[in-house]
Amino acid sequence: MDQPDFFKCLSDPTRLDILKIVLAQGNVCVCEITEALNLSQPKISRHLALLRNLSILLDQRKGQWVYYRLNPELPEWANAVLNIIAAQTANSVMGSSDFNQINSCCE
């Protein structure tokens, strides 16, 4: 992953919101992201595919559900950017506590 692709990926509001949810929750199912953002599952999946293709997120299938988490092997510079986003999200109106209230529909 190079920096221009990383920042292009983050420039989309939906992908940025998905990353904020993953940063707040750690391991998130597609259905939880769909519920939190009030968007269709195909639209969320398309954005998740881009994040996965750039190796920003990793996926893991558990039965019929797919869970996403941050790639622990991201470059240091990417982690630094995501840490800033996580800190800003925690301090914003729609902070990480809002994401903690997402109902888990897939367990």
CATH of the domain at 47: 1.10.10.10
Tokens representing 59 are 């996926």
- Cα 6 to Cα 61: distance, rounded to the nearest angstrom: 24
| Global confidence as pTM | 0.85
Domain contains 35: yes
Query: Which amino acid, 74?
Result: L
The domain total for the chain is: 1
In a domain? residue 75: yes
* Full domain range(s) for residue 45: 3-96
Structural domain contains residue 102: no
The residues facing 60 across adjacent strands are 67
Residue 107 included in any domain: no
Q: Which tens digits make up the pLDDT trace of 22-76?
A: 999 999 999 999 999 999 999 999 999 999 999 999 999 988 889 999 999 999 9
Token pair 């999946």 is at which residue? 45
Cβ proximity of 68 and 30 under 8 Å: yes
Assigned domain for 59 exists:
yes
Please indicate, yes or no, if residue 103 is contained in any of the structural domains: no
